[in-house]
Chains A and B, each alone.
Chain A
């Protein structure tokens, strides 16, 4: 039974980045190894974005979310996301951008499985870029993708938790309801 607060519950919003970076042991050398590939990543961005939207448009359930949206704006957002992965800076500002993306996804009712599944495209193209930086960059790239997965999921959870907490007046109770404790 969730009748006791956990320290992890105090880590919210963009502070999750510093916690997870510490947890995963992402060091300055790894960050620099990806930052050094920034220009190569920018050159590879257009091909990645083409594959990204080709896949989304080919699937009826994801294409639905693109109808009526500005293609140019969406492509720009994914390009910025991609470029940030190879920015070499993974701080609270980095986390904040990911959290905002997650919140937008929640607001439009996009199931979390889609952004997570689309990381497959990022991995395919990112592995090629990261390979140019040797083992350190390849390892760092995997860590940064894992960081993104964690932050995206946390953004979804936080959004739902915040909404339910406001509705019923207690975060602890909201956590218990979401956990399914006591068969609620």
Chain B
């Protein structure tokens, strides 16, 4: 990946975190599970998060296909301590947004869906 693309991806993540301060972390992975850019708050391993995100998105696509739900746009995981949103960024990437359990989901979707479209254009 070129330096220009890398910087553009990193900037999109900074912009996303600025727009939603309560978000704990964001990451962009390739669909084959490699991290391309990340801004995570904790001690999470970006390689591990990227591989898991790509796996979840890939499986989600398969479920959507099987159940005739069309092209997968996003999927999420909700736990007692947090929520993880995964957005398809075109056919090459996945945007991961990690948020606290009580986060404003509407705002997250509004900003992250727009960011995912921008990331898809970069990729």
Q: Chain A: residues with CB nearer than 8 A to chain B?
A: 1, 3, 166-170, 172-173, 176-177, 181-184
How many of chain B's residues touch chain A, expressed as a range?
10 to 19
Q: Check if B55 is an interface residue, CB within 8 A of chain A.
A: yes
Q: Do the beta carbons of A173 and B48 come within 8 Å of each other?
A: no
Q: Do the beta carbons of B58 and A177 come within 8 Å of each other?
A: no
Cα distance A103–B32 when bound, in Å?
26
Return the contact of B33 from the options A166, A167, A170 (Cβ within 8 A).
A170
Q: Do the beta carbons of B55 and A177 come within 8 Å of each other?
A: yes
The 4 A-B pairs at the shortest CB distance, nearest first, are namely A168-B58, A169-B58, A173-B33, A172-B32
Smallest Cβ-Cβ distance to B29: which chain A residue = A173
Q: Do the beta carbons of B48 and A170 come within 8 Å of each other?
A: no
User: For A168, what are the chain B residues with a Cβ–Cβ distance below 8 Å?
Assistant: 54-55, 58-59, 62
Q: Do the beta carbons of B45 and A167 come within 8 Å of each other?
A: no
Q: Do the beta carbons of B51 and A182 come within 8 Å of each other?
A: yes
Cα distance A166–B57 when bound, in Å?
13
Q: Check if B8 is an interface residue, CB within 8 A of chain A.
A: no
Cα distance A36–B61 when bound, in Å?
54
Cα distance A173–B52 when bound, in Å?
10
Q: Check if B34 is an interface residue, CB within 8 A of chain A.
A: yes
Q: Check if B38 is an interface residue, CB within 8 A of chain A.
A: no
Q: Do the beta carbons of B61 and A172 come within 8 Å of each other?
A: no
Q: Do the beta carbons of B31 and A169 come within 8 Å of each other?
A: yes
Contact A173 B62, CB 8 Å, known A182-B47, A184-B48:
no
Shortest Cβ gap from A41 to chain B (Å): 46
Interface residues of B in 7-34 (CB under 8 A from A): 31-34
Smallest Cβ-Cβ distance to A1: which chain B residue = B47
User: For B32, what are the chain A residues with a Cβ–Cβ distance below 8 Å?
Assistant: 170, 172-173, 176
Q: Do the beta carbons of B62 and A172 come within 8 Å of each other?
A: no
Q: Do the beta carbons of A184 and B34 come within 8 Å of each other?
A: no
Q: Do the beta carbons of A184 and B31 come within 8 Å of each other?
A: no
Smallest Cβ-Cβ distance to A165: which chain B residue = B58
Q: Do the beta carbons of A173 and B58 come within 8 Å of each other?
A: yes
Contact A173 B45, CB 8 Å, known A3-B34, A167-B62, A168-B62:
no
Smallest Cβ-Cβ distance to A5: which chain B residue = B32
Q: Do the beta carbons of B59 and A181 come within 8 Å of each other?
A: no
Q: A1-B47, A3-B34, A176-B33 are in contact. List 4 more A-B contacts (CB 8 A).
A: A169-B58, A172-B33, A173-B54, A184-B55
User: For B31, what are the chain A residues with a Cβ–Cβ distance below 8 Å?
Assistant: 169-170, 173
Smallest Cβ-Cβ distance to A171: which chain B residue = B32
User: For A176, what are the chain B residues with a Cβ–Cβ distance below 8 Å?
Assistant: 32-33, 51
